Amino acid sequence: MCTALAGCGGLRESRLNPFNWFKKSEPTDLVLVPGAANDGRQLVDAVLTLSVEPIPGGAIVRATGQTPTQGWWSAELVPLPLDDNGVLVYEFRLAPPATVTDVNTPRSREVDVATYISDYKLEAVREIVVQGAGNARVARR
């Protein structure tokens, strides 16, 4: 029994440990992807936060963005093709309000969005980038 417990110490530093998957996000440069699909929605003005939270079977990618006014809707993280370096880029896209809306406080203009990534897809991913119109954030392994 003691041998089995002593052998588990290496798991702490292993890629199998979900807590080692991704570190805290940080600002990064925008990633230009040739031929990126535009679905008619706009990129969020600014990406404020990004987190990658491990769950059984994969991870949840969560991001908060800030819009210029209130009333933006249909927010989604739209994945772009995984590149050869293991960089998975998501575009933070949303639809503008149908009518003129107020600017109000910065907090009232924040939009939260999330998506699920399976363990299978995460195997090839080294970093996750979420980008908006003016900035991007990255979470690296």
Domain coordinates in residue numbering, the chain:
21-140
Tokens representing 13? 């530093």
DSSP state of 122: H
Q: What is the pLDDT of residue 60?
A: 96
**More confident of the two residues 65 and 39:** 65
pLDDT digits (tens, 9 = 90+) for 109-127: 999 999 999 999 999 999 9
Q: What is the pTM of this model?
A: 0.79
pLDDT digits (tens, 9 = 90+) for 48-106: 999 999 999 999 999 999 999 999 999 999 999 999 899 999 999 999 998 888 888 88
Query: What average pLDDT does range 4-17 have in this prediction?
Result: 51
Q: What is the pLDDT of residue 25?
A: 73
In whole angstroms, give the CA distance from residue 110 to residue 65: 6
Q: What is the pLDDT of residue 15?
A: 52
In whole angstroms, give the CA distance from residue 97 to residue 74: 10
Angle, CA 49 vertex, CA 13 and CA 33 arms, to 5°: 90
In whole angstroms, give the CA distance from residue 67 to residue 110: 6
